[in-house]
Amino acid sequence: MSSPLHKLFDLTGRVAIVTGGSRGLGLQIARALAEYGAAVALVARKQGELDAAVAALTAEGRTAVGLVADLGQAGSAQDLTARVLERFGRIDILVNNAGAAWGAPAEDYPLEGWNKVMDLNVTGLFLLTQAVAREAFLKQGKGAVVNVASIEGLQGHHHSQLGTIAYNTAKGAVINMTRALAAEWGPRNIRVNAVAPGYFPSKMTMTTLGQHGDDMLRQTPLGKLGGDTDLMGPALLLASDAGGHITGQIIVVDGGMTII
């Protein structure tokens, strides 16, 4: 028999969208939500990576589908929301993980890079959140948004590393968008929170970790990078009824890097 505490984390019957869900942090979060009963709609740009992720989750006995979408393009948010509702009939959880980065010195930063990062990390994130809230959460009277921000949205980039001004700016915007939406939608029973990861090994961080990884470890109290399960607990908490009295909050998951 399930304990009352277990029931707070139980996502059986709920549907979650996880953007950037075919690999890395997105797949890690999707795996946690699926393990606790949610049907997950994984969203990414590459069909092959989606197919592999869905196959892996299905082999674990989970319910998962893969949907190709480029959320940096106008119109994709409404289309994606409609496809998920057509497939499952409801949406209960939205995990905004899809993101892009571009490295260049601020004085030479190209407009192309700035627009690419902003279009996906800020505008695309907002438009999907807006569409899901309008078409599902507000009609159902309940919903949970988990934004994947970054410690880069809480601090400046070290001068020894290649500049990422658009990424820092975008993630800072995501952090305050989280607070603003939580304040506006709280009375309508929609919770909006964020996790702010530190450095996890990924395709996006490969170059930075290759050049500065040893220094980062020395600057991290726990002495390690983020691992394959380190976002599972925080994301599950924020997506489930266990976090039912939490909104507008940012959970930093960085091994302590930002405290020193």
CA distance 71 to 175: 19
The residue from 36, 109, 167, 199 that is catalytic is: 167
Confirm whether 36 is a catalytic residue: no
Q: What is the DSSP string of the chain?
A: ---HHHHHH--TT-EEEEETTTSHHHHHHHHHHHHTT-EEEEEES-HHHHHHHHHHHHHTT--EEEEE--TTSTTHHHHHHHHHHHHHS---EEEE---------GGG--HHHHHHHHIIIIIIHHHHHHHHIIIIIHHHT-EEEEEE--GGGTSPPPTTS---HHHHHHHHHHHHHHHHHHHHHGGGTEEEEEEEE----STTTHHHHHHHHHHHHHT-TT-S---TTTTHHHHHHHHSGGGTT--S-EEEESTTGGG-
Active site members: 167
